[in-house]
C-alpha cells in the first residue's frame, strides 16, 4: 500500500480543490511585519478543524486551540524568527490533544466501529470514520489527521512530529490498514 | 465519497478507499470550521489567555515553585542526594568492585525499555509499532502532566520514543506506557528539565474537566533530577495516570503511564519502569 501525500497526490488521494496544503509558503520569516493577528486569521480555522478531529469531544476543540494560540503569542517573535509558526502551532496543538487524551484516557464508548444507527450518507460515514480514527493509537491518529485535515505532506508531518519522513509513512500505512480493518468489520456487521 | 460502502477483500484497495474517505472528511471539517470559527473572538481569547499564562509562569518561577513544593508536602524535584551510579564506559577494564547497576543492562541494545520487560510490569501491553526516532530540532515536545513544545538553547542530539498499549476492553481505560528517551547537546537536558519543572505548576491547577495531579516522592527514584506525578484518571474503574521525567547528565527519560488498579500498584509500576528505563537509556547512551 502506498500512502500518497499532498506533494504527490494521485488518483488514490483526491485533490480537494480548496488548496488543502494550508501550510503554504506563507513567508513569515521573510515578512516580519506579518503579525500574530494575521497568523490567526490565516490558520485559526484549520487549527480548529484539526482539533475537532483529534479530540473525542469536538466541543473542547475551541478551548484547546485558544490555549495553543496563547502559547504561540507568548513566543511569537522567537517562533517567527527561529521556527516556522505553522509548524510550531500544529506541534503545540498535537501535543495539547495528546495531553487531552491522556487526561481523558480512553476511546468513546460503543461498539468497535459500529455504524451509527442506520443513518445513511456522508454524515453517518464521517461519524463512523471519526470514531474509528479516534480509536487509533495516538501517533497514527495524529499522522492521519495532519495529512487529511491540515493537508500536510509527509515532510511537513515529519517536521511537526519531530521524526523522519519514512517514519511518518510507516505510521500512516499502519493507521490506514487499521482503519480499513475497522471499517470493513463495521460494514460486515451492518450487513449481518 | 461518503457513501459508507467500503471495498472488501484486497487490503490495498480497502486502504485506498479509506484514504479517499479521510480526504473528504478533512475537506468537510475544514470547510465547516471556516464557516463557524469566530476569528476575532479567538484572537481576543488567545490574547487574554496569553496574559494569564504570562502571569502564571512568572509566579511559578523561583519562589512560587518552592511554595508549590511546600504545598504538596514533598519535593517536586530534587538533585540527587545519593552517590551517582557509574556511567557506562566502553571497554572498561575488569574491576574488583561490585558491578554497578548499569551492568545489568545491555549497552548494545535499544535505549528503550525492552518490550518483554514492559509487558512483565504492565501485563498485556504490546508496542503499537516500531520505535520512532526523533529529529534534531530546537523544539521538542514534552512535559509532565501537559505536553508542550519546549525551546532549548542547546538542541536535541537524538531521541527515540515508543508506546505500548493493551488491547482495548470496551469502555474501560486502556493500560498504556509511553516512553521517550532524549539526549541533548550542551546544557539542553538541564534546560529541558527546568522547563518541565516550571510547566509542572499547571499540574496543580488543571482544566475544570480533569482531576488535579499530586506529586510522587522523588526519593523513590534514582536520578540526578526527577519529577513525578499522578492523577486519578477514572474513579469508576480505579485507573490512574502517572508521569515521570528523569534527567541524568545529558539524558532525559520520560514515562507516561495509564494503568488500572489501586494507587499503590500504579506507583509501583511507575517507579519500577522509570528506573529500568533510565538505566537502559544510560547503558546505551553511547551506542545509538
pLDDT-derived band at A100 (thresholds 50, 70, 90) equals confident
pLDDT value for B77: 53
Q: Are B221 and B194 in contact (CB under 8 A)?
A: no
Output the DSSP codes for A126-186.
Answer: HHHHHHHHHTS-HHHHHHHHHHHTS---HHHHHHHHTB-HHHHHHHHHHHHHHHHHHHHHH
Between CA B146 and CA A101 the distance in angstroms is 10
Bridge partners of B121, per DSSP, are none
Domain contains A1:
no
Q: Distance between CA A150 and CA A173 in Å, rounded?
A: 18
Higher pLDDT residue, A92 or A16? A92
Q: Residue B252 and residue B282: Cα distance in Å, rounded?
A: 9
Nearest alpha carbon to residue B130 among B154, B162, B94: B162
Q: Domain tally for chain A?
A: 2
CB distance from A170 to chain B under 8 Å? yes
pLDDT the model gives residue B106:
59
pLDDT score for B161? 92
Q: Which of A70, A89, A106 is the endpoint of a domain? A: A106
- Which pLDDT does position B51 carry in this prediction? 86
- Dihedral (C-alpha) B183, B185, B188, B192: value to the nearest 10 degrees? -20
Contacts of residue A93 in chain B, CB cutoff 8 Å?
none
Residue B166, C-alpha cell as written in the block = 493493551
Please list, in sequence order, all residues whose beta carbon lies within 8 angstroms of the beta carbon of residue A41, skipping any fewer than 6 positions away: B39, B43
Domain-wise residue ranges, chain B: 75-86+106-283
| Domain at A190, CATH number | 1.10.10.10
Q: Are A79 and A131 part of one and the same domain?
A: no
Rg (CA), chain A: 17
Q: Which residues of B are less than 8 Å from A80 in CB distance?
A: none
Search chain A and give the residue with CA nearest B1.
Answer: A122
Residue B101's pLDDT is what? 57
CA dihedral sign of residues A88, A90, A93, A99? negative
- What pLDDT, on the 0 to 100 scale, is given for residue B213? 86
Q: Which of A58, A76, A106 is the last residue of a domain?
A: A106
Mutate to test the interface with B, among A180, A181, A186, A191 (most CBs of B within 10 A): A180
Q: Which of residues 61-90 of A touch B (CB under 8 A)?
A: 62-63, 65-67, 69-75, 78, 82-83, 88
- Under DSSP, is residue A16 helix (H, G, I), strand (E, B) or coil? coil
Which residue is closest to A145 within chain B, CA to CA? B26
A87 phi and psi angles, rounded to 5 deg = -60, -45
> Do residues A119 and A45 share a domain?
no
Task: Give A-chain residues touching B16 at CB under 8 angstroms.
Answer: 1, 12
Of B24, B11, B20, B1, residue with least CA distance to A4: B20
User: Which of A71, A83, A105 is facing B258, going by the closest CB pair?
Assistant: A105
Residue A9 is assigned to a structural domain of this protein: no
- Is the per-residue pLDDT at A165 higher than 80? yes
Which of A55, A123, A157, A176 is the best mutation test for B, with the most CBs of B within 10 A?
A176
For chains A and B, count residue pairs whose Cβ atoms are closer than 8 Å. 260
Q: Are residues A97 and A119 in the same domain?
A: no
Tens of pLDDT along chain B (288 residues) come to 333 334 445 677 788 888 888 988 888 888 888 898 898 999 999 999 888 877 766 665 554 454 334 434 444 454 443 334 444 433 333 344 445 555 556 555 789 999 999 999 999 999 988 898 887 766 788 888 877 778 777 888 899 999 999 987 766 778 999 999 999 999 999 999 998 988 887 777 666 556 778 899 888 999 999 999 998 887 777 889 999 999 999 999 999 999 998 899 999 999 999 999 999 999 888 777
Domain co-membership, A163 together with A95: no
Q: What is the dihedral of CA B236, B267, B273, B207, to 10 degrees?
A: 60
Cell numbers at residue B135, please?
Answer: 529529529
Last residue of a domain, one of A48, A79, A106: A106
Which pLDDT tens digit goes with each residue over B99-127? 555 555 655 578 999 999 999 999 999 99
A192 in contact with B, Cβ within 8 Å: no
A44 within a domain of the structure (yes/no): yes
Mean pLDDT computed over every residue of chain A: 76
Tell me whether residue A45 is in a domain.
yes
Q: Do B149 and A144 touch (CB under 8 A)?
A: no
| A44 close contact with B: CB closer than 8 A | yes
Return phi, psi of residue B280, to 5°. Answer: -65, -40
B26 vs A contacts (CB less than 8 Å): 16, 20, 49, 53, 145, 147-151
Cβ distance A41 to B139 less than 8 Å, yes or no, reads: no
Identify whether the C-beta of residue B160 lies closer than 8 Å to the C-beta of residue B253.
Answer: no
Beta-carbon separation of B16 and A1 below 8 A: yes
B8 contacts in chain A (CB < 8 Å): 184, 187-188
Range of the domain at A47: 28-106
Q: Shortest CB distance from A92 goes to which of B27, B54, B149?
A: B149
Within a domain: A10: no
Tell me whether residue A11 is in a domain: no
C-alpha cell at position B155: 538542541
CATH of the domain at A85: 1.10.1740
What's the CA gap between A131 and A179, in Å, rounded?
10
- A23 occurs within a structural domain: no
C-alpha cell at B89: 564506559
Concatenated DSSP letters of chain B: --S-----S-HHHHHHHHHHHHHHHHHHHHHHHHHH--HHHHHHHHHHHHHHHHHHHHHHSTHHHHHHHHHHTS-SEEE--SPPPPPP-TTPPP-SSPPPGGGGS-TTS-SSPPHHHHHHHSTT-EESSS-EEEP--SEEEE-SSS-EEEE-SSPEEEEEEEEEEPPPBTTBPPPEEEEEEEEESTTHHHHHHHHHHHHGGGGGS--TTSPPPEEPPGGGS-SSEEEEEEEEEEGGGTEEEEEEEEEETTEEEEEEEEEES-HHHHHHHHHHHHHHHHHHHHHTTT--
- Tell me the C-alpha distance between A36 and B180, whole Å: 32
Task: Report chain A residues whose CB lies below 8 A from the CB of B20.
Answer: 12-14
Q: Do A1 and B11 touch (CB under 8 A)?
A: yes
* Percent of residues, chain A, with pLDDT higher than 90: 22
Cα-only R_g, chain B = 22
CB contact under 8 A, A74 and B53: yes
Interatomic CA distance for residues A15 and A45, integer angstroms: 19
Per-residue confidence (pLDDT) for residue B93, from 0 to 100: 37
User: Hey, are the CB atoms on A40 and B258 less than 8 Å from each other?
Assistant: no
- Residues A93, A128, single domain; the answer is no
Is A124 in the same domain as A165? yes
For B168-199, what is each residue's pLDDT tens digit?
776 677 899 999 999 999 999 999 999 898 88
CB-based contact B19:A176 (threshold 8 Å):
yes
Q: What is the dihedral of CA B63, B64, B66, B68, to 10 degrees?
A: 170
Domain covering B75-86+106-283, topology: Protein Transport Mog1p; Chain A (3.40.1000)
Q: What is the per-residue DSSP string for A69-119?
A: HHHHHHTHHHHHHHS-HHHHHHHHHHHHHHHHHHHH-SPPSSSTT---TT-
Condensed to tens digits (0 to 9), the pLDDT of residues B9-31 reads: 567 778 888 888 898 888 888 88
Give mean pLDDT, residues A172-180: 91
Query: Is the per-residue pLDDT at A86 higher than 80?
Result: yes
pLDDT in tens, A139-156: 899 999 999 888 899 889
pLDDT band (50, 70, 90) for residue A22: very low
Whether the Cβ atoms of residue B45 and residue A65 lie closer than 8 Å to each other: no
One domain for residues A94 and A119: no
Is residue A49 within 8 Å of A149, Cβ to Cβ?
yes
Amino acid at each position: 500500500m502506498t500512502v500518497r501525500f499532498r506533494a504527490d497526490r494521485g488518483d488514490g488521494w483526491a485533490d480537494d480543490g480548496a488548496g488543502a496544503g494550508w501550510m503554504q509558503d506563507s513567508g513569515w520569516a521573510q515578512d516580519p511585519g506579518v503579525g500574530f493577528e494575521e497568523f490567526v486569521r490565516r490558520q485559526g480555522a484549520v487549527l480548529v478543524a484539526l482539533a475537532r478531529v483529534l479530540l473525542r469531544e469536538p466541543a473542547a476543540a475551541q478551548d484547546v486551540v485558544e490555549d495553543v494560540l496563547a502559547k504561540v503569542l507568548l513566543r511569537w517573535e522567537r517562533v517567527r524568527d527561529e521556527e516556522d509558526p505553522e509548524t510550531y502551532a500544529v506541534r503545540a496543538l498535537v501535543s495539547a490533544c495528546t495531553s487531552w487524551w491522556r487526561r481523558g484516557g480512553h476511546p468513546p464508548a460503543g461498539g468497535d466501529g459500529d455504524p451509527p444507527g442506520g443513518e445513511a450518507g456522508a454524515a453517518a460515514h464521517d461519524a463512523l470514520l471519526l470514531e474509528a480514527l479516534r480509536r487509533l493509537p495516538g501517533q497514527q491518529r495524529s499522522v492521519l489527521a495532519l495529512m487529511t485535515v491540515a493537508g500536510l505532506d509527509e515532510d511537513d508531518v515529519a517536521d511537526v512530529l519531530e521524526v523522519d519522513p519514512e517514519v511518518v509513512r510507516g505510521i500512516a500505512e499502519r493507521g490506514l490498514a487499521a482503519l480499513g480493518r475497522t471499517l470493513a468489520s463495521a460494514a460486515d456487521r451492518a450487513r449481518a | 465519497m461518503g457513501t459508507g460502502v467500503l471495498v472488501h477483500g484486497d487490503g490495498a484497495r480497502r486502504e485506498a478507499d479509506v484514504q479517499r474517505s479521510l480526504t473528504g472528511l478533512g475537506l468537510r471539517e475544514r470547510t465547516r470550521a471556516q464557516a463557524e470559527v469566530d476569528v476575532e473572538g479567538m484572537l481576543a481569547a488567545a490574547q487574554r489567555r496569553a496574559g494569564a499564562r504570562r502571569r502564571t509562569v512568572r509566579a511559578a518561577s523561583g519562589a512560587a515553585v518552592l511554595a508549590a513544593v511546600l504545598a504538596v508536602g514533598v519535593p517536586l524535584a530534587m538533585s540527587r542526594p545519593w552517590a551517582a551510579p557509574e556511567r557506562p564506559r566502553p571497554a572498561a577494564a575488569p574491576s574488583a568492585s561490585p558491578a554497578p547497576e548499569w551492568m545489568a543492562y545491555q549497552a548494545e541494545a535499544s535505549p528503550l525499555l525492552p518490550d518483554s520487560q514492559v509487558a512483565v510490569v504492565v501485563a498485556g501491553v504490546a508496542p503499537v509499532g516500531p520505535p520512532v526516532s526523533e529529529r534534531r530540532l530546537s523544539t521538542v515536545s514534552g512535559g509532565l502532566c501537559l505536553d508542550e513544545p519546549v525551546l532549548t538553547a542547546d538542541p536535541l542530539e537524538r531521541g527515540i520514543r515508543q508506546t505500548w498499549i493493551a488491547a482495548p476492553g470496551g469502555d474501560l481505560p486502556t493500560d498504556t506506557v509511553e516512553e521517550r528517551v532524549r539526549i541533548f547537546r550542551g546544557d539542553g537536558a538541564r534546560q529541558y528539565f527546568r522547563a518541565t519543572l516550571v510547566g509542572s505548576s499547571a499540574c496543580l491547577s488543571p482544566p475544570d474537566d480533569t482531576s488535579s495531579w499530586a506529586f510522587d516522592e522523588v526519593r523513590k527514584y534514582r536520578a540526578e533530577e526527577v519529577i513525578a506525578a499522578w492523577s486519578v484518571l477514572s474513579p469508576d474503574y480505579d485507573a490512574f495516570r502517572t508521569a515521570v521525567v528523569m534527567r541524568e547528565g545529558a539524558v532525559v527519560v520520560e514515562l507516561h503511564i495509564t494503568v488500572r488498579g489501586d494507587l499503590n500498584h500504579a506507583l509501583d509500576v511507575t517507579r519500577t519502569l522509570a528506573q529500568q528505563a533510565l538505566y537502559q537509556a544510560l547503558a546505551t547512551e553511547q551506542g545509538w
